């Protein structure tokens, strides 16, 4: 009876090492999945308010196969901050080639007009991709 007990123990050990390898492989796949979007995401090099043109000027850095990415803006809701007349608004900068294969790094300047934004003075937050944002105060 001793022999079958030893064999069962060994088979449990083999299964655990197999499961451990599978878990490690699964973790590696998940980690790569988390890193890949960050590598391809557009980020801000700088964001400034140009009062003469009433626009935000954002310098974007992104990875792709070509330099022809176009960025559009999607405005959020203007919210009042406190009683001092200041507001807050979020704008999403959307890349029309967000899924472009990352082969090279490019930089472009995006001009975001504030002409139709009736939310002044405001703390404007520009976002692109999750976790990438930049904020600027406009009068």
State residue 84's pLDDT score: 84
Confidence of residue 51 (pLDDT cuts 50, 70, 90): very high
Query: Where is pLDDT greater, at 47 or 25?
Result: 47
State residue 40's pLDDT score: 56
pLDDT digits (tens, 9 = 90+) for 72-112: 999 999 999 988 889 999 999 999 999 999 999 999 999 99
**Is the predicted pLDDT of residue 16 greater than 60, yes or no?**
no
State residue 89's pLDDT score: 96
Q: Give the position of tokens 């405005």.
A: 75
Nearest alpha-carbon partner for 112 in 61, 67, 71: 71
pLDDT digits (tens, 9 = 90+) for 114-126: 998 999 999 999 9
Q: Which two tokens stand for residue 28?
A: 């590696």
Alpha carbon distance 95, 64 (integer Å): 11
Instruction: Give the bridge partners for 126, in sequence order.
Output: 91, 134
Nearest alpha-carbon partner for 42 in 90, 109, 89, 88: 109
State residue 54's pLDDT score: 95
**Whether the predicted model's global pTM rises above the 0.85 cut:** no
State residue 27's pLDDT score: 53
Q: Give the position of tokens 């007349």.
A: 85
Sign of CA dihedral 89, 95, 98, 103: negative
């Amino acid at each position: 009876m001793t022999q079958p007990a030893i064999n069962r123990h060994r088979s449990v050990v083999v299964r655990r090492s197999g499961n451990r390898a599978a878990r490690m492989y699964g973790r590696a796949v998940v980690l790569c999945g988390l890193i890949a979007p960050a590598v391809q995401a557009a980020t801000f090099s700088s964001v400034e308010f140009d009062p003469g043109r009433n626009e935000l000027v954002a310098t974007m850095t992104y990875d792709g196969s070509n330099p022809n990415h176009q960025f559009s803006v999607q405005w959020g809701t203007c919210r009042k901050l406190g009683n001092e007349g200041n507001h807050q608004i979020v704008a999403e900068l959307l890349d029309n080639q967000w899924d472009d294969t990352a082969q090279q790094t490019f930089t472009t300047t995006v001009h975001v007009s504030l002409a139709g934004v009736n939310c002044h003075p405001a703390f404007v937050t520009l976002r692109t991709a999750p976790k990438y944002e930049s904020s600027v105060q406009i009068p």
